[in-house]
Amino acid sequence: MHNNIKTQFPLLNNNKNLVYLDSAATSQKPYSVINALTEYYNNANANPHRGAYSISIESTRIYEEGREKIKRFLNLPSSHEVIFTKNNTEAINLVAYSYGLNFINEGDEVLIAITEHHSNLIPWQQVAKVKNAKLNYLYLNEDYEITDEEIKNKLTEKTKIVAIGQVSNVLGTVNPVDKVIKRAHELNAKVMIDGAQGLPHLKTDLSKLTPDFYSFSPHKIFAPMGIGVLCADKNLLEEMPPFMFGGDMVEYVYEQETTFDEVPHKFEAGTQHVEGVLGLTKALEFVEYLGYDYIEETDRELTEYAQERLNSLPYIKIIGPKEASKKIAVISFLVDGIHPHDIATILDSKGIAVRAGNHCAQPLLRFLGINSTIRISLSIYNEKADIDKLIDALEYARRLFGYGHE
C-alpha cells in the first residue's frame, strides 16, 4: 500500500482544490520526473551521439540507457528494438508511412478496430487510399466487445496488417489484442498495437504478447510530453526505409546518394529529446515503485466506485459496459438534458477537470449513435473523495439547468 501518492505530484500539491479527472488525456508528473529534467539541464545538457567530450557522452549514455530501460520494462523480445519519436502519433505514422506505404499493395486489406483513436485510424485510412488497399473494421457487439467471430470473419488471407488499441480511450474497454495477434500471425499478417491507454494501467509483457509493432504515449504514464516510443521487430525495421531524413541517421552522404545508419538510429533523424527520455526512464521507475498490482487494484477500486455512484443518478447514461469490471479507469457518460460541453464548463467552475467531446474517436461515436460524451479518467493520485465532488457538481449542474425541482 502506498500512502499520500498525491503529495508526490507538485501540480496537485500546488492546486489543492483541483480534481483532476483527465489522466487519459495526460497524466500529472511526479517530482522524480520533473526534478530529473532540471538535473539534466543543470549538469548534462549536450547534444548526444555527436560530441567527444564528457557531457555529450553523458547525454548519449542517458539517452541509450532510456532505450534499455524500456526494453526491460516491457520485457521486449531480443528480436525487437525501441525507436524514439516525438509522440505516440508519430510512432504510428512511422509504421504507416514506412511499412504501410512500402509493403501494402493494391487489393490488400488493412484491418483496424472501430474503437481506434484518430491517431491509429487516419494514418491507415491514408495508406489504404494511396495504395488502393481496402480498410476494414472490427466492430463491437451490443456488449461493446470485439467477438471471436468478428476476429475470425474480418482477418483473412488478404489482411496485411491489423492496427488496434490495447484499451479504448472512450469506453475504457480492453480489446482482445492477444487473440488478434495469434490469428494475424497464423495468416502472416502484421499487428500494430497502440498501447497509449493500455500501458498506464496494465502490466504489459511484449515477449508474451509478441506484436510486430507496439507504441505508447509516455506523457500518459507520468513522463514529459514530446517523446513517443515505438517497439518493433528488428527484421521488419531493417527492411523498412527511414521515415524522416537528416542529421544523425546516416552513414555516408554523397552529393547524390546517402547510406543510412543501423536500426534504431536510421529512424531517429535530428537532435534527440534526451531529457524526455530521461523523464520517461524516471516515470517507468515510478511505475515500478508503485507496482502494477497496486495500480491495477487502485484502478479497479476507483472505477467501481465511480461507476456505482454515476449509476445511482437517474439522469446519467453511461456509454459503454454497465459492469465496472469491463473497463479500466475510463468512464464515458451523458447527462440527460445538458450538453457535455456545458457539463465540462460547469464542472470546471467547481475545479473539476474532465474531457467533453468526441475524444478523437469520431467513427466510434458515430457507430454508437452519439456525437459527444463526458469522459472521466482516473489515475493513482485520485481518491474516492474526487468522485464524491464530481457527483455533487453534477447534481449542481442539473439544478442550474432547472431540473432540481421536478
Ligand X SMILES: Cc1ncc(COP(=O)(O)O)c(C=O)c1O
Q: What residues act catalytically?
A: 360
Alpha helices in 114-219 (DSSP H): 122-131, 148-154, 177-186, 206-209
CA distance 325 to 302: 11
Contact between 119 and ligand X by CB under 6 A: the answer reads: yes
Contact between 120 and ligand X by CB under 6 A: the answer reads: yes
Out of 117, 183, 282, 327, the only residue in the binding site for ligand X (CB under 6 A) is 117
Span of 41-49, 116-124, 264-272, 369-377 interacting with ligand X by CB under 6 A: 116-124
DSSP-based helix, strand, coil % in the chain, nearest 5: 45, 15, 40
Out of 22, 108, 109, 194, the only residue in the binding site for ligand X (CB under 6 A) is 194
The least CB distance from residue 370 to ligand X, in Å, is 18
The least CB distance from residue 119 to ligand X, in Å, is 4
Contact between 332 and ligand X by CB under 6 A: the answer reads: no
Contact between 276 and ligand X by CB under 6 A: the answer reads: no
Nine-digit cell string for 87: 509522440
Q: Residues, the chain, total? A: 406
The least CB distance from residue 216 to ligand X, in Å, is 9
Number of Cα atoms under 13 Å in the Cβ half of residue 75: 8
Nine-digit cell string for 157: 488471407
What residues have CB less than 8 Å from 258, skipping those under 6 apart? 245, 250, 251, 252
Span of 117-125, 140-148, 330-338, 375-383 interacting with ligand X by CB under 6 A: 117-125
Q: Which is nearer to ligand X, 229 or 343 (CB)?
A: 229
Beta-sheet pairing, 213-216 with 109-113? unpaired
**Cβ atoms < 10 Å from Cβ of 126:** 16
The least CB distance from residue 336 to ligand X, in Å, is 27
User: Using alpha carbons only, what angle is made at residue 291 by residues 58 and 200, rounded to the nearest 5 degrees?
Assistant: 80
Out of 60, 88, 204, 272, the only residue in the binding site for ligand X (CB under 6 A) is 88
Q: Which is nearer to ligand X, 47 or 126 (CB)?
A: 126
Q: Which is nearer to ligand X, 117 or 282 (CB)?
A: 117
- How close are the terminal C-alpha atoms of the chain, in Å? 44
User: Contact letters (x/-) for ligand X, 197-226, by CB under 6 A?
Assistant: x-------------------x-x-------
The least CB distance from residue 332 to ligand X, in Å, is 13
**Cβ atoms < 10 Å from Cβ of 130:** 13
Let me know: does 331 contact 376? Beta carbons within 8 Å.
yes
Residue 236's closest CA among 161, 139, 174, 308? 161
Q: Which is nearer to ligand X, 58 or 194 (CB)?
A: 194
Out of 30, 48, 100, 165, the only residue in the binding site for ligand X (CB under 6 A) is 165
The contacts found for 143-152 with CB under 8 angstroms, 24 or more apart, are 143/321, 143/326, 144/171, 144/173, 144/320, 144/321, 144/326, 145/173, 145/176, 146/113, 146/115, 146/175, 146/176, 146/180, 148/176, 148/179, 151/176, 151/179, 151/180, 151/183, 152/183
Q: Which is nearer to ligand X, 359 or 398 (CB)?
A: 359
The least CB distance from residue 214 to ligand X, in Å, is 12
Q: Which is nearer to ligand X, 88 or 379 (CB)?
A: 88
Nine-digit cell string for 230: 515505438
The least CB distance from residue 326 to ligand X, in Å, is 17
The least CB distance from residue 369 to ligand X, in Å, is 21
User: Measuring CA to CA, how many Å separate 75 from each of 177, 205, 208, 351?
Assistant: 17, 5, 9, 40
Contact between 379 and ligand X by CB under 6 A: the answer reads: no
CA distance 187 to 190: 9
Out of 121, 196, 249, 277, the only residue in the binding site for ligand X (CB under 6 A) is 196
Q: Total number of residues binding ligand X (CB under 6 A)? A: 13
Let me know: does 214 contact 233? Beta carbons within 8 Å.
no
Contact between 85 and ligand X by CB under 6 A: the answer reads: no
Q: Which residues here bind ligand X, judged by CB under 6 A?
A: 87-89, 117, 119-120, 165, 169, 194, 196-197, 217, 219
